[in-house]
Amino acid sequence: MRLEGKSAIITGGGSGIGLACAKRFSDEGAVVAIIGRRKNKLELAAKDIEGRVLPIAGDLTNNNDLDSLVSKTLHAFGKIDIVVNNGGLFAGAPLHETKDEDWNIIMNTNINSVFQLTKRVLPHMMKSKTGTFVHIASILGLVAAPGVAAYNVSKGALLQFSRSIAMEYGSLGIRSNAICPGLVKTDMTDNLMKDKELMLEWSKDYPIGRFGDPEDIANACLYLASDESSFVTGATLPVDGGFTAH
C-alpha cells in the first residue's frame, strides 16, 4: 500500500485522468477528495471508487469553492498530503481570432486556479513539513500545436509553476512535479477521437503505436505521489508514448 495513511485532493476527479488517479490512489491506501463542477457525476464516481472518498462539487475558478474544498478536506481527513492538479480545459482558435474572454477562461482554469489552490494548501504542508504536488500538464506545454495558443501557453506556464514550487519549498519537505500526457482517451477528447482519419494520421507520431489510457497517467501520478519518488522534484515527465522523443 504505497499511499497508506495519505490524504489527497484530486481536481477534475469525476472522470478521465482524475477519476483514474482517484481509483489508483484509493487502491493504494489513500483517502481522496475529488472536486468537479457536476455533482451527479462526482457522486457516481465516488461510488465507483473503493475506499474513503469525499466528493465536493465546485468550480476551480471560484475562490470560495477552493476555500470550501480545502476546509472540507481538512475537516474530513485532518491533513492534505497530496494535491493532483488535474482539472483543466482544452479549447482553441487561431491566435488572431482568439477572443479576450476565451483566452482568460483558459488561463483562469488551467493555471490561475492551480495557483489559487496551491497557495491555500501550502501553509498546511509547510506546518507538517511534508507534501507533494503532481500537476497534469500536456505535451503541448513542451511543444506547440497550431490553433491552440492559449492552451499551449497555459500548460507551459504550469510546468514553470511546478518548478517554482520545487525550488521554493523543497527545504520544507514539499515536492512538486509535472506530467505531460500525450493524447489520452477521455471525455474531453472523445469528439476529437471520433475522427478516424485524423487519428490514423496522428498515431504515426506515437512510436509506441497507440494513444494513452487514463490509467497510464494515473500510474505515473502514483509514482510521483508516493515515497518511491522521494528524491524527485521539479521534474517534468512526458507520458506520451514517445511523442516528444522525436
* Residues that are catalytic: 151
Fill in the DSSP letter of residue 37: S
Grid coordinates of 12: 477534475
* Residue 199, helix vs strand vs coil: helix
- DSSP strands (E only) in the chain: 7-11, 31-36, 53-57, 82-85, 131-136, 174-181, 236-239
Phi, psi angle pair for 175, to nearest 5°? -110, 155
* Residue 28, helix vs strand vs coil: coil
**What's at 178, amino acid-wise?**
A
Q: In what order do the strands lie in the sheet with 31-36?
A: 53-57, 31-36, 7-11, 82-85, 131-136, 174-181, 236-239
Nearest to 73 by CA among 135, 13, 113, 137: 13
Establish how many alpha carbons lie within 13 A of residue 17's alpha carbon, considering only the half-sphere containing its beta carbon.
30
d(CA 240, CA 244) in angstroms, rounded, equals 7
Would you say 125 and 131 are in contact if contact means Cβ atoms under 8 Å apart? yes
